[in-house]
Structure 1
Amino acid sequence: MATNAKTISLCIFLFLASALVTLTLRSSQHSTSWFPTARKGVSRTSQQFPINAPKVAFATFLAGNSNPDKKETDDESAEANDDDDGYFLGTRVLAYQLLHSKSAGTNNSIPFLVLCTTDVSSRKRARLKRDGAIIVLVEKLSADWVHAAVERWADVLAKLRLFQLTEYTKICFIDADTLVTAPLDGVFFDEATLTQATLPNPAEILPDEGALPRTYMFATHGDYWGYEHPYPPPTDLSYLNCGFFVFTPSTVLFNYYLSLLALPGRFDPGFPEQNLLNYAHRRDGNMPWKPLWYGWNVNWPTARDWRGGARSFHAKYWDGDPSHDLVLKAIWREQRAEMEGFYRGRDLALGGVRNKT
């Protein structure tokens, strides 16, 4: 009888423990969603998203004088189907690839921001807005001692105004001259995009520079400086390429960048924003940049990188540079034709709806 009593007691204990665990799980309010995962055409309600979900975005930059060979007036550019303004065309193709492409498109709840200097024509800004982009007008940044090595880079320092967009938790910046062939959503999960503590090395704290933030996040990849790199490419490079990077906006960090602009000779001004960021986030400094997975983006790309699984490629495929990989150039041109057909059909459909109303 004693043995039976112990068995009965054990059964009662296990039953009560099981009931307690079940009750705890049912009453918990944990959410496993980080950001929306539904694809195109799937309706969403605010109840599907966690209240404190990080706000992320893709972004690019467009300056009015980024193409010195463009037509003198915007009307002439329009008559030429904007073939004279490669960066504008690149921005449109990038918007299509990120927002609408069936093969390369990302989660369509992630906004695509286009930072435009005020000299980008209102027609072009309106076209990008119809394409689905969010236009962010910004003032130019400059310093008397900073002179870009190439004329089309004259206003690239305005890219730094991205760091003022503190309503976003993470932003992935992509240069307009980029071909995207597969979704990039996962870049926001990349280990390199975790928040880092700013290092306290006193030798790297200079009294004439602005204050550093307590934490930061700046992740990118190195510049390969040529087409002969292997795939996978090297990840131990020290010089970063800022055609593709992920960061957390910060007013303190933006003000630190401004303090560097006020110090003639602090960095080589030939590549204005890239060399400023290389100085600010040097690998042996207090805010070293972190390497992203090599497949998110490749500079100096070839079809070998594409076949290896890379997802985006940094090159001006709209121009006649004979060094560009012919396979990737053909894919970009196909994407441009697909983009133009998509928007032509959508514009006609929307025009018909407006006429009926």
Structure 2
Amino acid sequence: MSLSITDPEGLSPSSPPGSRHAFATLVTNADYALGARALARSIRLSGTMADIVVLHTGGVEAAALEPLDEFGCRLVETELLPLSDEFNARHARRNVHEKAPFTKGRKPDFHSPLDNFCKLRLWQLVEYERCVFIDADAIVLRNIDKLFRYPEFSAAPNVYESLADFHRLNSGVFVAEPSLATFERMLAALDRPGAFWPRTDQTFLQAFFPDWHGLPVTMNMLQYVWFNLPGLWDWRSIGVLHYQYEKPWEKDHPRADVLSPLIELWHAYLTGENIPDLASLKNPVQAGVVSP
């Protein structure tokens, strides 16, 4: 099957596509390249035939990406979006974190707000009918190919602290239909005069798709649910586990004790060793988890 087309501006794929569908992620530094290894292994173990596309920016050295070859990933070198100097200044790390500080958890120092907008280049991948984007700080726990049948724009709610969060989406997992026309409309809306997106791509996508379709929370289970809303957690139904805020590869993890079962699971997928049977894992209520 030949699906090759002219490469869109700003993207340089390493190989032609091999499927009509793709799981995609974004890697902006060596830490997220490590995360992408665990994610790619988890996707392959799910038994999918879809492509795995890794968008990567100039902040990632080739050596950090080499381990992804094991999983047949399609690497796509990605330029930053062509945005105005004013937009870039407003969304520099210092400005974003001063105007909209993270108060619920700790974002690692490597977090770069401007890089996040590269997610929108997913809409340039018009060689695919549907793409499911998954943040590189997540792992797939079972086959989720059914998401390719969901419409654009589908995302799970940003639930990790209370049920009041159901009105907000989380952009760590979403379903998109690539389209150059949509991409151009996104750029125009993104960089309109004075625009400020406090949670970068997440805030923008909710504004651009105000009538977004809701995925089950199990398709983007945020790790803080483990101790904040333990009654929502059920290993038998979780499709994607998303390590929001603190990352499982961090050495000085401030919530390592309470999240230790989740961190151990991530390391099992990273190495491919001792990956447990999910049915054998205890839910947080059974494990006696309490809020840190």
TM over 0.5: yes
Deviations, residues 91-114 of structure 1 (Å, cap 9, x unaligned): 001111111x3xxx232x211000
Answer with 1 or 2: which has the greater Rg. 1
Q: Secondary structure at the match of 1:152?
A: coil
Selected match of 2:47 from 71, 90, 106: 106
CA positional deviation for 1:308:
5.4
Deviations, residues 142-161 of structure 1 (Å, cap 9, x unaligned): 43332343561331111111
Deviations, residues 216-275 of structure 1 (Å, cap 9, x unaligned): x2100111142x55xxxx8x9322110000110111111111112321333x43321111
Q: Partner of 2:68 in structure 1?
A: 128
- Kindly, what percent of the aligned residue pairs are identical? 27
- Cα distance, 1:179–1:130 mapped onto 2, change above 3 Å: closer
- Cα distance, 1:240–1:173 mapped onto 2, change above 3 Å: same
Deviations, residues 182-220 of structure 1 (Å, cap 9, x unaligned): 12122223xxx23xxxxxxxxxxxxxxxxxxxxxx2100
CA positional deviation for 1:340:
11
Q: Is the 8 A contact 1:147 1:270 kept in 2?
A: no
Unaligned runs of 5+ in 2: 1-18, 98-109, 276-292
Q: Is the 8 A contact 1:221 1:291 kept in 2?
A: yes
Q: Partner of 1:118 in structure 2?
A: 58
Whichever residue aligns with residue 183 of structure 2, its letter is F
Selected match of 1:289 from 212, 215, 240: 212
Q: Partner of 2:92 in structure 1?
A: 147
For 2:20 and 2:143, the matched residues in 1 are separated by 18
Could you list the runs of 4 or more consecutive aligned residues of structure 1 that deviate by over 6 angstroms after TM superposition?
Answer: none
Whichever residue aligns with residue 261 of structure 1, its letter is L
Q: Partner of 1:138 in structure 2?
A: 78
Q: Is the 8 A contact 1:147 1:269 kept in 2?
A: no
Selected match of 1:264 from 172, 185, 193: 193
For 2:274 and 2:79, the matched residues in 1 are separated by 30
For 1:134 and 1:167, the matched residues in 2 are separated by 13
- Cα distance, 1:57–1:340 mapped onto 2, change above 3 Å: farther
Selected match of 1:223 from 114, 136, 158: 158
- Cα distance, 1:244–1:147 mapped onto 2, change above 3 Å: same
- Cα distance, 1:321–1:186 mapped onto 2, change above 3 Å: farther
Q: What CA RMSD, in Å, does the superposition of the two structures yield over aligned residues?
A: 2.5
Unaligned runs of 5+ in 1: 1-53, 65-84, 195-216, 283-287, 342-357
Whichever residue aligns with residue 302 of structure 1, its letter is W
For 2:273 and 2:122, the matched residues in 1 are separated by 26
Q: Is the 8 A contact 1:106 1:184 kept in 2?
A: no
- Cα distance, 1:106–1:321 mapped onto 2, change above 3 Å: farther
1:158-169 maps to which residues of 2 (within 5 A)?
158-169=118-129
Q: Is the 8 A contact 1:93 1:339 kept in 2?
A: no
Q: Is the 8 A contact 1:239 1:278 kept in 2?
A: yes
Q: Is the 8 A contact 2:172 2:242 kept in 1?
A: yes
Q: Partner of 1:328 in structure 2?
A: 262
Q: Partner of 1:302 in structure 2?
A: 226
Deviations, residues 62-114 of structure 1 (Å, cap 9, x unaligned): 013xxxxxxxxxxxxxxxxxxxx431211001111111x3xxx232x211000
Whichever residue aligns with residue 91 of structure 2, its letter is V
Whichever residue aligns with residue 138 of structure 1, its letter is T
For 2:266 and 2:111, the matched residues in 1 are separated by 22
1:1-357 maps to which residues of 2 (within 5 A)?
55-64=20-29, 85-99=30-44, 101=45, 105-107=46-48, 109-141=49-81, 142=83, 143-144=87-88, 145-148=90-93, 149=96, 152-154=111-113, 155-189=115-149, 193-194=150-151, 217-226=152-161, 237-266=166-195, 268-282=196-210, 288-299=211-222, 300-302=224-226, 304=230, 305-307=233-235, 309-315=237-243, 316-319=247-250, 320-322=253-255, 325-338=259-272
For 1:340 and 1:63, the matched residues in 2 are separated by 28
Whichever residue aligns with residue 87 of structure 1, its letter is Y
For 1:87 and 1:238, the matched residues in 2 are separated by 28
Deviations, residues 262-316 of structure 1 (Å, cap 9, x unaligned): 21333x433211111111112xxxxx21011332221234284243521211112
For 2:128 and 2:266, the matched residues in 1 are separated by 29
CA positional deviation for 1:124:
2.0
Task: Provide the TM-score with structure 1 as the length reference.
Answer: 0.58
- Cα distance, 1:257–1:339 mapped onto 2, change above 3 Å: farther
Q: Is the 8 A contact 2:159 2:225 kept in 1?
A: no
Q: Is the 8 A contact 1:219 1:291 kept in 2?
A: yes
